[in-house]
Each structure stands twice: as structure tokens, then as C-alpha cells.
Amino acid sequence: MFKNIRILTIVLLTTICWGCEDLLDAPPFDEFAPENVLVNQEGIEALLFNAYHIANRHQSLHTWTLPMESSTDIMVVSEGGVAGLNSPFATFTWTADTQWLNEWWSRLYQVIRDANVVIENIGNFEGDETVRAVVLAEARFLRASAYADLYNLFGPVVLRTSSEEPTNEARITEEEMRAFIETELALAVENLPHPASLPTDYVYGRATKGSALGYLAKHYLNTRQWEAAAQTAQDIIDLGYYALEPVFRQAFLVSNEGNNEMLFVWTSINQQGYHTTLPNGVASPDFLSAPNIPELVRDPEVMAAWATNWRVTDWIIDAMEAEDGRQAPAVDEYIDITNSVRRYSDQRPDNRRYMKLFDPGGQGNFHGVDIPVIRYADILLTRAEALNALGQSIDEAKQLVIQVRERAGLTDHSSIQNAAAGDELRDLILLERAKEFIHEGKRREDLVRHDLFIANATSRGVTVDGPHRNRFPIPAEEANNNNLIVQDEGY
């Protein structure tokens, strides 16, 4: 297991709060006076790592992944309090008051706040100039990636680049939003380290050139800037560092963290406040073990399994060919806590579980498996999709898709090889993405990108009241506090 940025955050905050006997006794970082902390390299890096930590909490919790997938055709969330909180997303009835929307907005702007303060105080950084440039690039990356996530969710938002801006500010335009994200990520790329030559003290989980290029490629893809998406994906390939893990399932194992498929991950450890909650609802409360997940034997006295159930839909598993290695994490047969053999599929439809992300050492509700944000498979499929949209280099686009399929153990690629360029190949690429990225929170954006999100919902019998559902509303808390912000039409 790599020492990761979450552990370093604990160490640095504990060092700064030297009067506290325990980390849990420490006040939040934003309660420290900047004039007391941001006067040297250690204080600035501590705030930077706090920004990483908040961003981690944004995407490593179930409150991010569940809405991104249960609003589509690959996940069903049922039972328990979490199902109730998630219900507005599954039924397309979310409003500006929906709890998780306010949490997303708040966390992302906290990341932006900390990044802004780091940038404003970088002049106090007394260390090596090269290290200073990297810290500045990391702050730019965190700020730009937070804005990219906000834009993906809410469209153009308020652009805050200073810690002293007024509460009341208007949203910027689509063009201004895109230009800021693209410029900031490009600046970050310049000074972030190459993943093959990281400084010795550059802990796992910090951003690299690949991380910033990955966010930029996905931003271009999601905004349909096909040429830029294709070129940025190629820039990542040309780094000569990233590669697909030979075996699909092993790319996600805790014992294999830090592998060359991951451009950027949100790191987790099985400690409260630095954990992920994603595994908690995948296993049902009666789950003990499964033959196809030999690393995980759940001790009910140690590892929680929530009453809620995060179920993968039958169609996506059934769409995988018999030899597809992406079936490996799909659990149907399992041993329950009475040592009886059971099958999820015997209990109800759409009931199998996808145990790709799990921590054998989970403690209670706290799991230490890292959450992939951008993988090399995503980059290969990004370039393939963009080339197809451009109508260029179609043979190359197909080979990129085949490369991902081959890693999954597939040998018959006739459906890809014989597909016509355009919509037919696009649909096959989207299908590959649906199979490849289960529980990575990408299905919603894939459908939105091709104007298929609402049609996908209505085809499943969900009533959708208009195209405004392609984006989420500005959360009520922000709308109530900011007199200049204009809510989206339809909300």
C-alpha cells in the first residue's frame, strides 16, 4: 500500500496543530488565521493538502456515484435511508433543495477557496523555486478541476478566483466558463511533474501532468470539442507512461494501488474522515463472501453492510460476452452469514452486485479502496469517440476500442470492426464505456454528452418534465444567499 496524500494531510495538520493531542481535537483548517499559518512552505502545503482532502470527500462518497448512475440504466438503489436521499435522482424529481446538490456545491467551492488562498499566498513559499512552481500548479489543478465538475453538474457558475470576493456575484457565460477551465488546466500541465519522474517526496494521490491532461481531455470530450479531445488524449498516450493493467479486476485491488492505469484517483484509508463509503451498500447485510471475490471475506462484527442495496441492472451484465473479464466483479452467487449459498438473481430482478471497489480491511463504515477519477481506458475511449465524431481515422478509433476490449479478454471484435462510422460506432463506444466504468460515476455524463440522458430515462418509464434535467439547479442555499445568481429555467 502506498503512503498517500490522506495520510500526509493528517500528518501536516497534526504538526501545525501541535497543541492538540489528537487529530479529532483539531479545529478545521479554515478556522486557522492565515497570518499564523500561511507564512511558510509547511503551512501553504498543509492548506493545499486540505484542498485535496475536501475534493477527496466530494467524489469518494456514495453521495456522488449513486446519483450519477441511478439516474441512468446501470444502477438501482433500494431500501434504507440512503435510498430515500437518492430517490430524487432516480425519479428525476430533484429540486434546488435536494440535499446532495447542496453538498456537492459546498464541497467544490471549499476546494476552490483553499486553492485560491494557496495561490494568493504562494509568495510566502520559501522553498525551492521548482517545488514552489509545482505547488502553484497543483492549486491551479484543484481549482480548475473543481470548476470542471461544477460546470459538468450545473453549467456556468460564479467564478471566484479570490478569497475576498463579495457574496453576491453573477454566473459567468458558457464561453467564459470553458475558457477559464481550459486555460487553468493548461497552465497546471506546464509545471506538474511527469508521472515517470516524480520527486521522491511526492506522495501518491497528488496531481501529475497526466492528471491535468486527463481532466482537460474529459472536459473537451464532455463539451463536444472533439478535435481538442482527440489531441489531448493523444498527448496523454505520448507521455509513454500509462498502460492498461493486464487483468481488469486487478486494476482496482487495494494491493495494486498506484498502478500505471490510473491518471488520477481519490485516495482513501480505512479511517473515519479519510475513507470511502462506496463499498457499504454494494454488499447486502447478509453477505459473507463470494467465490469470484476471493480477497473479501466479510466479518459482520467488523465490516458494516448498510440496509440499503446498490444493485447493478441485469441488462449491463447480460450485455457482456461470456469471456468478458468485466463480468468478474459481478456477484450473483454468494455465501450468506449463515453459511448458506444464495443467489442475488433468485431474489428479484436487477439484483446482482458489482464488487469492483472493495477493501478487505474495511473497518465499520470506513473503507480504504481508492476511487478512480480518470483511467487510461477512459483516455483510449475518449480519443476513439472524438475521432469517430470527427469522422477521422476511423480505423484507429476502432483499434483503440479493441485495445480496451482485448484487455477484458475478448477476442471477437467483429461488431466494432464492421460498425459504420457515426452513430453506429458511437453507440458501441458508449456501450463499452457502460461496461468498463460501472461504479465510477461516468454514465450520466456519457448520456448527457450525446443528448441521450432524458431519452434513456423515458425509455425506462421515468417521467421527465423537460430538457432542463440535463443539468442540476443552482442549490437553494446559494440561490438564497446570492442575490445576483439566476436560477436555471425550469427550476
pLDDT, average across residues 91-109: 96
pLDDT in tens, 2-41: 446 555 555 555 444 433 333 323 334 444 455 556 878 8
Render the burial of 261-296: b for 16+ CB within 10 Å, e for the rest: bbbbbbbbbbeeebbbbbbbbbbbbebbbbeebeeb
pLDDT in tens, 327-378: 999 999 999 999 999 999 999 999 999 999 999 999 999 999 999 999 999 9
pLDDT in tens, 136-151: 999 999 999 999 999 9
> Cα(178)–Cα(465) distance, rounded to whole angstroms?
28
| Cross-strand bridge partners of residue 311 | 76
Question: 0.75 exceeded by the pTM?
Answer: yes
Domains in the chain, CATH or no CATH each: 5-225 (1.25.40.390), 376-464 (1.25.40.900)
**pLDDT at residue 195, rounded to an integer:** 98
**pLDDT at residue 29, rounded to an integer:** 41
pLDDT grade, residue 155 (50/70/90)? very high
Residue 456 has pLDDT above 70, yes or no: yes
Report the largest interatomic distance among the alpha carbons of the chain, rounded to a whole angstrom.
67
Residue 453 has pLDDT above 90, yes or no: yes
**pLDDT at residue 30, rounded to an integer:** 44
Orientation angle between helical segments 423-436 and 394-407, nearest 10 degrees? 20
Helix residue ranges, H only, 192-292: 209-222, 226-238
> Do 352 and 314 contact (CB within 8 A), yes or no?
yes
pLDDT in tens, 475-486: 999 999 999 999
Percent of the chain with pLDDT over 70: 92
> Cα(161)–Cα(34) distance, rounded to whole angstroms?
17
> Cα(54)–Cα(364) distance, rounded to whole angstroms?
21
Average confidence score pLDDT of the chain? 92
Q: Which residues, including other chains, have CB under 8 Å from residue 166's CB and lie 6 or more apart?
A: none
pLDDT, average across residues 239-245: 98
pLDDT in tens, 284-294: 999 999 999 99
Residue 420 has pLDDT above 80, yes or no: yes
Residue 186 has pLDDT above 70, yes or no: yes
Q: Is 464 helix (H, G, I), strand (E, B) or coil?
A: coil
Q: Is 409 helix (H, G, I), strand (E, B) or coil?
A: coil
> Cα(243)–Cα(208) distance, rounded to whole angstroms?
16
